[in-house]
Amino acid sequence: MLAEIASNYKTLLQNIPALIDVSGYKNDYICRKIEMKPATFSARKHKNNWSVEEVIKILSVIQNEDVEDFLLLQLMKETKNDETISADEFRKEIASWK
């Protein structure tokens, strides 16, 4: 479970520039809301170099359904090659728990 959390956070960090674009908010608006100079914001967005606190601030500004859907899609793409089991195998596994 801890590895999954770390993997999800890594995916989030990798997609911050895309999430900003998907949000529909202009960079200037986000800069004002998170109290960052536009030049600094632009450089960080280009290099994708954010602190945890900055990520939290940005997400609090850009959070909307489109952003959440895009991030969920990216997380699903990351896990599509993970090992899965069928519904029947799952039922058998649950039955063995009793």
State how far the Cα of 24 lies from the Cα of 64, in Å rounded to an integer. Answer: 10
Please give the helix or strand (H or E) that residue 22 lies within, else none: helix 16-23
Residues in the chain: 98
Give the HSE-up count for residue 91: Cα atoms under 13 Å, Cβ half-sphere: 3
State how far the Cα of 14 lies from the Cα of 32, in Å rounded to an integer. Answer: 23
> For position 92, what pLDDT does the model report?
84
List the domain boundaries for the chain.
Answer: 2-95
DSSP state of 83: -
- Mean pLDDT of residues grouped by 10 in the chain (98 residues)? 88 95 96 96 95 96 96 86 78 83
pTM, to two decimals: 0.76
Computed on alpha carbons and rounded to an integer, the radius of gyration of the chain in Å comes to 18
Closest CA to 71 of 5, 14, 3, 1: 14
> For position 37, what pLDDT does the model report?
97
**Number of neighbouring beta carbons within 10 Å of residue 68:** 13
